[in-house]
Chains A and B, each alone.
Chain A
């Protein structure tokens, strides 16, 4: 077949234990093998490779990506702009033509919420994200991030995959491909979607693109009867617990006979092993997702409702906190068990009534419950990880597709602002309490327009912390050595500890 290392996944090379391990780990050559070997004591193969195969010493092993679908407003949460207060209601004139996505240029619109200083850094946070004040000294803000498009679909893909077109692997898929799994009984990359609906582009945001399929994010529906697709069989008269074991045993027996009659094709052995792994996953997932053993104090800290309750029709803080908190707590449990990358979504598609961050009509109505819910769960997650000693090697990345305008839309809402918005990072290898890059006095564009940050820089930084060089983590597809960062990306040195 061909000699490219990138195609080994899909060719039938000769049988060898090591080769098989490579496939089963499904990762990038030696790196994946190293992580797999270190965690699989059953396999007696010598640890040929050390962590030295990473491009850099890793500062973190795991990532949580918090994604606010619909575009969360930076100027209403953490990019404090006194200028908006001063000029509230006046004509907004940034001194240049402004192209808005949907509306005409409205008046200058101050945030409806108060900002207060928090932590030693004195970072100004809006009251709707006040719970994050306790951990603000762990966080590094990037206030000068610029996007490439004000269209939700393209902008969401840009944040999740580094490209505005569909078909490219998500950051989580790259991490899974580059680093493999820390626990083969669980998927390396898990997605906790908003159960009310998927964001723009749906599953393209956690797709493996051209990378092998097992690097796709696996959807886990928190609190659902069937949290993972096909984890268990549906009800059927002929399916019994005893039968399940018998089927697996017979499968293994007959498949081994079949394989023994066919030499030179490691896929046959790999497929036998995949059924064993699947069975282990069936055992591992329920305990990973079961939060009933968590103490009431922990549940309360995450904002999880502990009584049976019917939610009101209107969007409300309590319900948002419960939904987001459950995902955060589940994320912690998955991270503890070796899941490499967890993507948590807040906000669904653009249906009505609105349950996402795209507050064209009324910023108070949507942002207050969404932000408060998000802040409570996120703060609890950070504290919980810190207390368990996991924060030091877990990266938390907060993102959204773009920001919102400093002027009003229809008096109470804000239109899209792809010209500047905020991301923040926290955890393993991140210097807390700093800001890398500011927006201008309006929060309209970067203060220093020549030196803005792009999503590629954030991606490069996360990969660096994981020990990977974003220019060297590549996959050949249609004649191009593809990277998460395309041809861009500079590590944001100022946020590294």
Chain B
């Protein structure tokens, strides 16, 4: 809405106001206090659009000088003493159909309008210093600075602080904690929780014995043993991979394989096993390449940024210049931004892509600053040598190869120039000169720079003579653009200089041949300018324009020809290599090579016989064989070729580098173009109105959310800094000990995976739409303990598992259930339904088939049909007996568009989205799969064979089966049922039955 359009203002003649005054609600009949009567109305009904945050139409009702004296372009909305004439009253009373205020929701009540009128009529008094109470957006549980709270009053100092907080809340609510679970239940619970695998019967028996003597010490020892097992990292990495939505294909259309995703998966497993300090874990994933260069984890960590899906068609088939290409890239960065902020900080930043976040203090600008952090990146492959010696060797050899290739190129250019090209150009020029009957006009005008809007722009063009040469004269000639009728001297710069050097960068050994940079020169037209260079020697001649030639409203630099003569009068520049800062290539008229093609416009009318003779002499010289290669160029080329081959062989002999799919500057060739071509320069990021790429608004630089008052939320990265410094800044912000979200987020996640629900049950959303923590002090205590105590996840696990809270029985209790049916306050342990991976891993484990090979490319439990175009992933054709596919589920090759049927029906994480908490369902399709899936059918047979190898009689086989699957002996009742069952239907049927029992899917 616009408060007071100029037109609306015009309608406010005194007569109109008088007419309207009869329609406004009556004035309140009492004396008004601004602070108690008026300001609350403004705050509740007007501030959303006209307050401290937003000022639509430039108008605001929180500051007296603007409220009382109008907005941007109009007179006052409030006329003290004249409420009936005050536009504000007309708006709130709905008298202006186009300007009803507030525009949404109920109108103000008659009473409120009466109060406003009375206030205006009484002089619109606005007490000095009456500043509106602005609610602090950071005053929210997850955004307050993290401080270590005191333990609840009366807690025993020696007890586990977790129990102190939990027990205090239970007592407060009249709930009783449950007794400790029995040792068998404990070892099953802790094993599944920490390593995802059932304990062996022997481990379980030993633990039960130990626990009978000292349960505390037995649990501590067990926990330490399991945390030290590599199986721990495999189990807990999977939780993190859910959150970052890791997958081994791109997803979307075609869903091509991503063969180098796995180094990131292995990195996560390695990091958990190494118990890396959490800040380091954050930093490696966001900016490991920059912060820890040359390390395997620094290289693989940024796989985090690339873990999610990628729209291959939107990137490879649609260029960034098209709307659809832009959309694909904005959405791709959106995934990077949201994954980062959801995973590490539990902020739903993605809500601010199209509009200001509706609930949390995040503006669109904040969101797009985060896009700017990642704007140089794409998802791409990067190589790495695990052995640092190999890395060093490769670097040296690569440099050598590059140098030799350049030499080879230069020498070949020279040979060509010496031979054919030079000869051809000479013949052509001689023929032209012999005609001699008038102006020679050819369309090859010369070199032309790109167009600029200001004349003071430096541009250069330079000629490479191949090797350093001794020169006597350099000439240059302006253009004659007959095409546009501009004529002689078109594009000849106002100020310029000519230099000679052996350094192509013109950083060192520069000899100035001519300097016209100090004042404007007159345009010489097409008259050739000559510089006597007196035997100076050099390889490169550079012509630099420092003030460009004016055209109609813009500025350019153009030049027809540069010649460089030796003492024999040979033009060494003829056909030489030309480079330039930029060039408008528009063949045949404008091209770099036109600068040395021997042609420039001349108005001579008679043949220049002296010139012809000189050129003919040179041509004849070139035609004799000896003169063709006076410097032995061919021999040099052969030498370079030999060295190059040797270097390439040496490179090939090095162990192949590893390749990881990470977030990085994409430098590859092909239809998908990243920022590599522009040196990794970040793309420009604009705030997009309603998130629409066709409506860019202000440009923004890198930054983050304004959630840590002590830290700048806009980053100070210079435009020419490497892009990685933006990610470094973000990594530092996220991992800073003052960040209130990071530490709460991770301990809450860990808590959730242990207990089934978080202290806040929305682990990726700590905002105002998320769940409030049930135990905020406990969360803060754990977060500060974790942050300040070494950031060790293993320490945190140990603390949790050794608590009495964790060790409670999962059995129900009628009384407690009435008060807290969902067990929010943890008066018992939650029974765990095994996740898809745990079901499959334990089916394999119990069957004796689990293959514990770690790391490397994932196992594929499908056959790929049509791999080249749109791969079909055919699970039904996989051989379930293949031992390579019997590895732990964390090593599964995860396909996004055609998910693994068994894992999917068992609620595994969908790699298309960040999964902070898995859905847990019970349904008929699950039952069908557990009963009939080829894997369970096959593993039941293997399980049976294992039982037969362990024991001879059915009774002992049944015991062994129960020992392996349930860590217990069958009851007498079970025996009496199952022994006849086995007799009738066989051991395999028993094993299949066991996989389907509730006891196999639920851990007490």
Residues of A within 8 A of B (CB): 1-2, 4, 7, 9-14, 23, 26, 99, 101-102, 148-154, 156, 164-167, 184, 187, 197-198, 200-204, 207, 209-214, 216, 218, 226, 228-234, 236-240, 242-243, 246-247, 250-251, 253-255, 257-259, 262-265, 267-268, 270-272, 274-275, 277-278, 280-282, 349-352, 476, 478-481
Contacts and interface: CB of A to CB of B under 8 A. Distances in A.
A268 B318 CA distance: 51
A10 B762 CA distance: 13
B833 interface: yes
A479 B919 CA distance: 16
B342 A478 contact: yes
Given A149-B327, A246-B985, A258-B999, A13 B919 contact: no
Nearest to A248: B931
Nearest to B871: A349
Given A243-B985, A247-B931, A479-B764, 8 more contacts: A150-B324, A153-B313, A154-B311, A154-B328, A184-B924, A187-B925, A213-B905, A230-B932
12 contacts: A10-B920, A99-B323, A166-B251, A198-B872, A212-B919, A230-B925, A250-B978, A258-B997, A262-B810, A263-B811, A267-B833, A351-B869
B252 interface: yes
Interface stretch (B112-120, B703-711, B765-773, B853-861): B765-773
A151 B902 CA distance: 31
Interface string B923-942: 11111110111100110110
Nearest to A282: B928
A479 B941 contact: no
B243 to A, nearest CB: 11
A175 to B, nearest CB: 17
Interface string B267-279: 0000000000000
Contacts of B762: 478-479
A247 B985 contact: yes
B989 A247 contact: yes
B929 A229 contact: yes
Interface string B972-1004: 011001100100111011001100111101101
Contact of A23 (B769, B901, B922): B922
B242 interface: no
Interface stretch (B364-372, B591-599, B909-917): B909-917
B505 interface: no
Contacts of B311: 151, 153-154
Nearest to A266: B922
A7 B824 CA distance: 13
Given A246-B981, A275-B996, A200 B253 contact: yes
Nearest to A477: B913
A479 B358 CA distance: 11
B763 to A, nearest CB: 10
B330 to A, nearest CB: 11
Interface in B891-905: 896-899, 901-902, 904-905
Nearest to A226: B876
Contact of A101 (B324, B905, B938): B324
B751 to A, nearest CB: 13
B547 interface: no
B603 interface: no
B668 interface: no
Contact of A202 (B318, B897, B997, B998): B897
B293 interface: no
A404 to B, nearest CB: 15
A237 B940 CA distance: 12
Given A9-B919, A154-B311, A14 B996 contact: no
Q: Return the 9 tightest CB-CB contacts between A and B, nearest first.
A: A264-B812, A202-B897, A167-B913, A479-B765, A263-B812, A349-B870, A153-B252, A153-B253, A1-B822
B351 A480 contact: yes
Nearest to A196: B872
Contacts of B988: 236-238
B541 to A, nearest CB: 42
Contacts of A14: 812, 817, 821
Contact of B910 (A11, A12, A207, A274): A207
Interface residues of B, number: 103
A149 B692 CA distance: 12
Nearest to A2: B761
Nearest to A100: B322
B924 A281 contact: yes
B993 to A, nearest CB: 5
Contacts of A197: 866, 870, 872
Interface string B118-160: 0000000000000000000000000000000000000000000
Interface in B810-825: 810-814, 817, 821-824
Interface of B: 251-255, 309, 311, 313-314, 317-318, 322-324, 327-328, 331, 335, 342, 348, 351, 359, 757, 761-762, 764-765, 767, 769-771, 810-814, 817, 821-824, 830-831, 833, 866, 869-870, 872, 876, 896-899, 901-902, 904-905, 907, 910, 912-914, 916-917, 919-929, 931-934, 937-938, 940-941, 944, 973-974, 977-978, 981, 984-986, 988-989, 992-993, 996-999, 1001-1002, 1004
B931 A233 contact: yes
Contacts of B309: 166
Contact of B252 (A13, A26, A166): A166
B629 to A, nearest CB: 48
A478 B915 CA distance: 9
Nearest to A23: B922
Contact of A243 (B770, B872, B989): B989
Contacts of A7: 761
Contacts of A282: 928
A214 B921 contact: yes
A212 B810 CA distance: 24
A478 B765 contact: yes
A25 to B, nearest CB: 10
A350 B351 CA distance: 33
A203 B869 contact: no
Contacts of B866: 197, 351
Contacts of A11: 757, 822
Contact of A479 (B767, B810, B992): B767
A277 B937 CA distance: 20
Contacts of A352: 869
A151 B314 contact: yes
A275 B920 contact: no
Given A167-B912, A233-B932, A4 B771 contact: yes
A481 B823 CA distance: 25
A201 B252 contact: yes
B765 A152 contact: no
A236 B251 contact: no
Contacts of A268: 998, 1002
A482 to B, nearest CB: 11
Contacts of B317: 101-102
Given A250-B993, A265-B831, A204 B869 contact: no
Contacts of B901: 229-230
Nearest to A280: B924
Contacts of B817: 14, 264
